[in-house]
Amino acid sequence: MLTIESFCLGPLQTNAYLLRNEEGKGIIIDPGMNPGALITRMNNLNLEIEAIVLTHAHFDHMGGVDEIRKLKGCPVYLHALESEWLTSSKLNGSLNWPQVTEPLSTDVAEYDLAEGQQLELIGHRFDVYHTPGHSPGSVSLLCGNDLFAGDVLFRLGVGRTDLYGGRERDLMDSIHNKLFKLNDEVKVYPGHGSRTTIGYERSNNPYV
């Protein structure tokens, strides 16, 4: 059984997800800025964290990587197209938002993500979809009927494409030709805002 908990972190209200099994092992998807609530929950559950998986490396999604990686000794997964972003406050955007954060950087990811990859973590399979557009290395992760979409698809919205490496045509291609190929009942856990489903967005999202 997979248990999913969400934490709204940092000034941009980024969704971080803590996934755990019944054996006391977990993974984190997108540990955002100011991850205190997430860390407290992990410690209270005495979880062994197998991995941090990043849907992309914008600062509001990777802000908690350094602290949690050092605390739990776990590896980080990130698409190869953004391999330099964790070390560069310019690429991850934190240098450009001084009103929100100090410049952020951490060590490179231990493992690359790629289209078609299947990760075996905490006893579950995660299928990796490369879904660029919001950023060049954005990925979405499907585990059963649960999709972790980062900043690609939101409830009645889509990710912005005006940041470094963004491209609207790629975003539309990712949504229509990858995410919208999934079943209607697939639950979408976005990087910001509330949960939705593929079917609801296919029928109602005004941007696609």
Give the residues of the chain that fall short of pLDDT 70: none
Q: What is the CATH number of the domain that holds 118?
A: 3.60.15.10
Domain of 11, in residue numbers: 3-204
Count of structural domains, the chain: 1
Distance CA 115, CA 188 (A): 19
pLDDT score of 117? 98
> Cα 34–36–41 angle (5° rounding)?
140
- List b or e across 52-75, with b for residues whose CB sees 16 or more CB atoms inside 10 angstroms: bbbbbbbbbbbbbbbbbbeebebe
pLDDT score of 195? 98
The interaxial angle of helices 36-45 and 65-72, nearest 10 deg, is: 20
pLDDT score of 44? 97
pLDDT score of 24? 96
pLDDT score of 51? 98
CA-CA-CA-CA torsion sign (126, 129, 132, 136): positive
Mean pLDDT, rounded, of the chain: 97
pTM of the model: 0.97
pLDDT score of 95? 95
pLDDT score of 161? 97
pLDDT score of 34? 96
